[in-house]
Amino acid sequence: MRRTNEKRSSTARIQPAPGPVPGVGGRQPNTTPPPEGGRYPDICTRSGPGQGGDDDPRLRELAEIGLGERWMRIAHTIGYDAFVAMWRILAVEHLHCEKPTYSRVRVWVPSYPRLLRQQRDKYIRERAGINPDLKQIQADIEKNLGESLSLTHIQRVINRATMGQ
């Protein structure tokens, strides 16, 4: 290895390019767009939350290991990557529980109607804060939520909210 006193960052050996230096990006000289205009390449890819689509081989792999039909529908809906991330979280929490079983991960999920009831009750409480007339709240619930509730039930929902404060 030969040592010299010349630094690598020195400009002594740099030669300028002959002729005009082409620009980059928007500074390119005298370029005109093609007459047909810009467009995307002629390819078609499926997209979605998991970017895999129905023919994703990773989803087929989940079916091959025996994943149940309901879980497969979830995986197709949210995509492979999100499903596996969720599965990993559930499995890790399961292994840290008091008495894990290694054959299955059991998950408790509240029923969907429970979410709907919670949202309906919140709607009742908000309506009561605006206008405490029970008959008007009952009519609003019927019109906006399509549910028929008794005045007694609506009053119980309002009372539970005021007792919890």
pLDDT at 4: 62
Let me know: does 56 contact 62? Beta carbons within 8 Å.
no
Answer yes or no: are the C-beta atoms of 121 and 157 closer than 8 Å: yes
What percentage of the chain reaches a pLDDT higher than 70?
58
Average pLDDT over residues 52-73: 84
Q: How far is 140 from 129, CA to CA, in rounded Å?
A: 14
Higher-scoring residue by pLDDT: 73, 106: 73
Mean of pLDDT over the chain: 77
Helix 69-78 crosses helix 57-64 at what angle (to 10 degrees)? 160
The predicted structure's pLDDT at residue 50: 44
Specify the pTM.
Answer: 0.50
Q: What is the mean pLDDT of residues 81-95?
A: 83
Measured in degrees and rounded to the nearest 5, phi and psi for residue 48 equal 170, -170
Nearest to 76 by CA among 51, 93, 108: 51
Burial (Cβ within 10 Å: 0-12, 13-18, ≥19) of residue 127: buried
* Opening angle at CA 121, ends 164 and 70, nearest 5: 115
Residue 21 above 70 pLDDT? no
Predicted local confidence at residue 49, as pLDDT = 46
